[in-house]
Structure 1
Amino acid sequence: MSCNMLAHRMILVLALLGFAPARAWATWSIVAVDRDTARIVVASATCVPLEEPRSLKSVQAVVVPGVGAAACQALIDGSGRNQSLVFEELRKGSEPSEILRLLRVDPNLEQRQFGIVDMRGRTAGFSGAKNGRSALDRQGRAPGTEIFYSIQGNILRSDAVVTSAVQAFVATQGALTDRVMAAMEAADRAGGDSRCTCATPPNAAAPCDGKTSHVAYILMAEKDDPLGRSFNDGTYALYLSVTQSNIQPSENANPVKTLRMRYDAWRKTQPDSFR
């Protein structure tokens, strides 16, 4: 790449980022792709009581069906410029490590956290030094598969939240969504986000078992799912979102447990060939 081209690209990056201040949102997330099926799955949970339309997905996830996905978290860029940069670079085919390099011009970088995976099996993660206790990311490949992942979290109960999620992800058999749900549950059991419990409002009118977040979601994008107008508002094959306001009395105030209930109900509607 010529010096002029590189300079032009960096100017575009600076213009995209803008660096608007944002609130710090602790969370954990799983980003994964299956090269055999071309499916992408992203899931996450947090103790910040977000509600639709400003959901956790809307501020965190980056999804390019058939290409790759990312989670942009910790100190969320409320302007969406970081997320837009990641989205556009994934569409171009840029390596995840190169995308992280482009993000390094952000003066708030040490308060950010990123996990990026693409359909070529390339992964990258970054956890800034100012993300509070137990901020870490892990990338890898499920042995014997074409499944690649990035699992990350910050302000967690302990590092075991991420390491337990990784262990569950690689050990679980079945569809990519099955692996991601197992990882979400493992993170929840390990303590999840350190800032909320069943005693922490808001509280849904439902039984509460070991709550470690206020909201949770899972999405799956098929290769041909259409893009939307932004970096994560396409029409995806699966999107389940649990918030304290939409939990039913027959469900559980722990969003991950309710996410499991709703996921299992959806899973039963899928053909035997779904894997």
Structure 2
Amino acid sequence: MTFTIVARDKDTGLLGIAQSTNPLSVGARCPFIRANVGAVSTQAYTDPGLGPLAIELLSLGHSPEKVIAELGESDPGYAWRQIGIVDRHGRVAAHTGSEAKNYKGAVIGDGYVVMGNLLLTDQVLPDMEKAWRDSAGELFEERLMRVITAGRDAGGDAGGHRSACLMVYDTEPYGRTDLRVDFAPKKKGEPDAVDLLRRAFDTYRPMIPYYKVRPHNPSMIGWIDWLKSQGIEYKD
């Protein structure tokens, strides 16, 4: 149903999530990040309310492992949920309920978790983790994109890929990158949500430094002129 990476960049402290799924608008229901606190994805037969609750518990200093346990105590539907958590220290925990559909599981590493449910093959998660490891040194968002692309290429969601999202937070209370594809029709030969997210990110990527500076310098030149000043020609 959904495949995801939740991660912290150990060099910069950036927190991020990338994911794709068959249902619409995954970015509206599953990913939650608060700067300097942590990142959470709640998926499978998700209760979106668990995301803000998990973030609040992390903000109180609870470890990801403790948050996983506390969510289980409060949620009567916990057997249907899949949850991955990374906190601002890079500590990680995950839960995959017994009622989540196969293939399912989570792989935990240093500062990251890759996880999924209702996956087409059992190769999805290993390939996602490999993409994460192989992309060390790349821009954080690029690494996240490569991970979900690898998951999709290994089969991804057994139902297809109608929606996808990429979310990264720095120290500000808003995302440095927050891109979504809410609906990509399942038509043979047409780009799926992961393809469209890649297109959106490749277009947005040069703007990351611009949007970092502009809140503190609102009189700076417009974004198209700024791109030109960087030697980049914008094309729709």
Instruction: Please give the alpha-carbon distance, in whole angstroms, between the structure 2 residues aligned to 1:192 and 1:96.
Output: 26
What is the correspondence of 1:1-275 to structure 2 with a 5 Å cutoff?
26-48=1-23, 50=24, 55-77=25-47, 80=49, 82-105=50-73, 106-141=75-110, 148-172=111-135, 173-196=137-160, 213-223=161-171, 225-226=172-173, 235-244=174-183, 252-270=190-208
TM-score when normalising by structure 2: 0.81
Structure 1: how far apart are the matches of 2:198 and 2:190? 10
Is there any run of 5+ residues in structure 2 with no aligned partner, and where?
A: 213-236
Deviation, 1:163, is 1.2
CA distance in 2, matches of 1:70, 1:243: 19
Question: 2:224 corresponds to which residue?
Answer: none
Identity %: 30
Post-superposition offset of 1:104: 1.8
CA contact (8 A) 1:61 1:69 kept: yes
Question: Equivalents in 1 of 2:165, 2:140: separation in Å?
Answer: 15
C-alpha displacement at 1:270, in angstroms? 4.4
Give a deviation string over 1:112-152, Cα, whole Å, max 9, x none.
101000121210011111111111011112xxxxxx11111
TM-score by length of 1: 0.70
In the alignment, the residues of structure 1 paired with residue 103 and residue 96 of structure 2 have an alpha-carbon distance, to the nearest angstrom, of 10
Paired amino acid for 1:253: P
Q: Which amino acid aligns with 1:258?
A: L
Counterpart for residue 21 of structure 1: none
Q: Which runs of 5+ in 1 are unaligned?
A: 1-25, 142-147, 197-212, 227-234
Partners of 2:190 and 2:138 lie apart in 1 by: 25
Verify the 8 A CA contact 2:176 2:208 in the aligned structure 1.
no
| 1:156 alignment partner AA | L
In structure 2, what residue type is equivalent to 1:128?
A: G
- 1:136/1:159 contact within 8 Å kept: no
Preserved CA contact (<8 Å) 2:18 2:167: yes
Q: How many residues align?
A: 205
RMSD of aligned alpha carbons: 1.9
Q: Which runs of 4+ in 1 moved over 4 A?
A: none
